[in-house]
């Protein structure tokens, strides 16, 4: 039982140390960089591109679907058979 308590205490102390010192935790890619650093700007830009890519994909798929639907409606209107006349 003492061995289990010792492990729990060691894990608690190590977690507190890692939480208190962000440089050891490496939780954020830009925490250790300056405000005007090129790497920080590149990281932030890449995050914006990753956030925008699903929206761009859905917009492209929706746009293609809309134009294909409109084209099919236009073709359907233009290809109606002429009215049959009685003699």
Rounded Cα distance, 29 and 43, in Å:
8
Render each residue's pLDDT in the chain as its tens digit; 87 residues: 567 788 889 999 988 887 777 665 556 777 777 778 888 888 888 999 999 999 999 999 999 999 999 999 888 888 766 667 666
| pTM, two decimal places | 0.50
Rounded Cα distance, 47 and 71, in Å:
37
Rounded Cα distance, 59 and 30, in Å:
31
């Amino acid at each position: 039982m003492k061995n289990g308590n010792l492990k729990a205490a060691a894990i608690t102390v190590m977690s507190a140390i890692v939480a208190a010192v962000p440089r050891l935790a490496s939780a954020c890619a830009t925490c250790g960089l300056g405000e005007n650093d090129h790497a920080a700007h590149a990281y932030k830009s890449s995050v914006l591109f990753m956030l925008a890519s699903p929206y761009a994909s859905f917009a492209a798929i929706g746009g293609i679907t809309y134009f294909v639907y409109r084209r099919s409606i236009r073709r359907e209107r233009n290809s109606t058979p002429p009215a049959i006349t009685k003699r």
